[in-house]
Amino acid sequence: MAITYNSQSRIFKLDTDHTTYLMGLTSEGYLGHIYYGPRMEHEAGTAPFRLPEFPSPSMLRREKIAFLAGFPFEYPTAGVGDYRESCLDVVGKDGAPGVELFFDSCSIEDGKPALEGLPASFAGDETAVKTLKIVLKDPVLGLRVTLLYSVFPAEDVITRSVLLENESPDALHVRRVLSMGMDMDNRDFEMMGLFGCWARERHPERISLHHGKQVLSSQRGVSSPQESPFMAILTPEATQTQGEVYGMSLVYSGNFEACADVSMYDSVRLVMGINPENFDWLLTPGSTFTAPEVVMTYSGSGLDRMTLSFHHFFRDHLIRNPYRGKLRPVLINNWEGTTFHFDEEKLYQIAKDAHGFGMDMFVMDDGWFGLRNDDDHGLGDWEVNENKLHGGLDALVRRVKALGMKFGIWIEPEMVNEDSDLYRAHPDWAIRLNGRDPSRGRNQLVLDVSRKEVRDHIMDQILKVFHGTSIDYVKWDMNRYLSDLESSSLPADRQGELSHRFVLGVYAMQQRLLDEMPGLLFENCSSGGARFDAGMLFYSPQIWTSDDTDAIERLKIQEGTAMVFPITTMGAHVSLCPNDQVGRTTPFETRANVALAGTFGYELVLSDLPDDERALIRKQIEHYHQFHMLNEEGDYYRLNSWSGDRLYDCWMVASPDKKEALVTYVQVLGRPNWRSTAIRLKGLDPDQLYTIRLVSGSVKKGPQHSSADQDMDKLFQTECRGDELMNIGLYIPALKDFESLLIHVYA
């Protein structure tokens, strides 16, 4: 049984294939955390409660605060004497804070419930997934709290969420409602997060925990590139292949908090959920509030196992798009070639040139609507500009499709320029503080899509355009964070709801798009990777990873992203050099080898390429067609990190049946008189005989390389057993800066 409850011992036991999660109740009905780790076949006791040391109130009423300071709460609350980070803070009718929860009931059900208005995982096979509902109540507030735990055995994943219901006759103010809490003894844990900024998203960073609170968070209205809604807690010896790792990912696309709080008793409290900063939700009598989902996994064998669990789970239980598990089109985008300045003939010529190289889809970027000739005007006016597209959008789409290509389009539905017909008609539809000059970003304001009339107006316009032709792909962008938080439609005592209501509005808009265009290939984007989170994956099978397309910068960005998310969710393209973001020049093959890990496409002007690079495009597209499904379904392994030793980066993907693998090696920094490097592969069958074939290499053969490099093709046309490749390694010849190899290993 995946979930059991022993009514005598009052112990809850949740089992996946390789892990166990234990909770228990005190005599008063406090719910405490007991254990999370390697699978246990037998039920444990409540020793972690330490009741002999910190007696519960029924045992020692005079020292309740001492009990609250040491008890390992499963879902901690604020205001009654536990001074550690809390998950729930509610103000009652008298204005006083304080919540105390006691067990009421529980149930175990087949399958996985949806979460109203929120993205959430699904069971697939309803009989394979079980859900535990634990109902806790605060009898003073009249508050009902339901903790949801869903167990996915094969993926070693447990999901958690919380449902609040006001059963009292009075309104309650919820000032904090996080989705999960967990208390453990500290074992010299370290925290890993994904940090960065625009064009430098999701760089892994690992720090030792210290007493006090270590917080990852966003207050930008998006999950943000600065700090990602992911947290891992690791033992000090943890590496890719060994040590204990607790991974948590929030299925949410707005403000979040993830915190590790080390107490005076050297316990660690982990919490994750909606950021309580500027959050205040009015819970009226009879109403409910649903908190977003947290995905948790435990690995006893390092980061690789955590990554595989997340990848399998997100692929099979979160991504719903029909392109999941299918080959996606290789695209060309017009932005680099035209910016805002184009007409239908110029766009058609770009598409025609791309078709000649074997590309599958043309994407029309910004500038096709309203009076959008620069980024100061037109956002919000989603009508085709027929001064640019003579004959309308449908005429261009039909011409492109006559080539045998698909057609895609860019939109930014959440934004408005003040110089637009929409803003002139409805200035109150923008989020801004009354009486203050707004803080602009890219000369844009954010529309208040928490309001249904705003959502409907925008989506009615966009879908009218889309339904008037045949659109295959939509890129949904969002280029400005939220600030100046005031909604003209909310009363004063509900302004604290705006940020969360905004996110719910975005989800509603994207769901409507998918409902009306169910076969659509949909890609999310937010100033690059500012909204690369599990919540967005529920709506789109791919997300633009970063506006930084430099292949070397992308190594760290894609490493951190792939630590949590399947690699084919990463929008990754080949761009021109010198690179626009950093000015670096890298070999054309390296740019393609790095981008092949993701969705693959081109962000460049084909006519600007030299002949030798143009000649490589067809071969690169062939490589994508050959290996995309291996990347889509295979197991990803990190073999080396440039961020670790600053010499080379290397990863591989092995097929589930262990019949083939694809290895990508990038030499970031070469060394003179250096020797070959042994790369130990993973995920192979030790007894299988494999052929090693060089697919693509950016090595320039000649006097600058050793004699071994002169015969690169011969070197890789060899056969090895899996145990040799995993224990002795695959030897990579010495390469120069930015050179790379793509290596196919197959039985």
Q: Are strands 11-15 and 3-6 parallel, antiparallel or unpaired?
A: antiparallel
Residue 88 vs residues 183, 676, 706: alpha-carbon distances, Å: 15, 56, 64
- Return the HEC string of 519-535: CCEEEECECCECCCCHH
Contact 649, 597 (CB under 8 A): no
- Look at residues 663, 679, 661, 677 and name the one whose alpha carbon lies nearest to residue 709: 677
CA 581 to chain CA centroid, Å, is 23
Residue type, 111: G
Tell me the DSSP string of 199-265. Answer: TS--EEEEEE--SEEEEEEE-SSS--SSB-SEEEEE-TT--SSSB-EEEEEEE-SS-EEEEEEE-TT
Rounded distance, CA 664 to CA 639, Å?
Answer: 10
Q: Where are the beta strands (DSSP E) in 30-171?
A: 31-38, 88-91, 102-110, 130-138, 143-152, 157-166
Measured distance CA(139)–CA(504) in Å, rounded = 30
**Euclidean distance between CA atoms 316 and 635, whole angstroms:** 13
Per the residue annotation, which of 304, 366, 547, 649 is the catalytic one?
A: 547
Told to judge if 477 belongs to the known catalytic residues of this protein, a careful annotator would answer: yes
CA-wise closest residue to 269 among 5, 83, 495, 401: 83
Q: Which of 480, 476, 500, 488 has its CA nearest to residue 426?
A: 488
Residue 578: cis peptide before it, omega within 30 degrees of 0: yes
Report the Cα 354 to chain-centroid distance in Å: 31
What are the beta bridge partners of residue 258? 216, 272
Residues 6+ apart with CB under 8 A from 283: 90, 164, 166, 171, 172, 173, 174, 289
Q: Which pair of tokens denotes residue 659?
A: 């019949």
Please say if 611 is a catalytic residue.
no
Catalytic residue among 82, 261, 477, 709: 477
Are the CB atoms for 732 and 665 separated by under 8 Å? yes
Pairing of strands 172-185, 88-91: antiparallel
Directed axis angle between helix 393-402 and helix 344-356, to 10°?
20
- Residues whose CB is less than 8 angstroms from the CB of residue 456 and which lie 6 or more positions away in sequence, other chains included: none
- Angstrom distance (rounded) from CA 667 to CA 650: 9
Helix/strand/coil (H, E, C) string of 155-197? CCEEEEEEEEEECCCCCEEEEEEEEEEEEEECCCCEEEEEECC
Cα–Cα distance for residue pair 651/636, rounded to 1 Å: 7
Task: Specify whether the CB–CB gap between 444 and 480 falls below 8 A.
Answer: yes
Among 15, 13, 18, residue whose Cα is nearest residue 2: 15
Task: Name the 3-class secondary structure at 67.
Answer: helix
Q: How far is CA 580 from CA 104, 279, 577, 588, in A?
A: 59, 39, 7, 15
- Within its chain, how far is the Cα of 645 from the centroid? 26
Q: Provide the 8-state DSSP code for 429.
A: G
Enter the DSSP assignment of 597: T
Going from the C-alpha of 554 to that of each of 310, 430, 564, 679, the distances in angstroms are 21, 35, 16, 21
Active-site residues: which are they? 477, 547
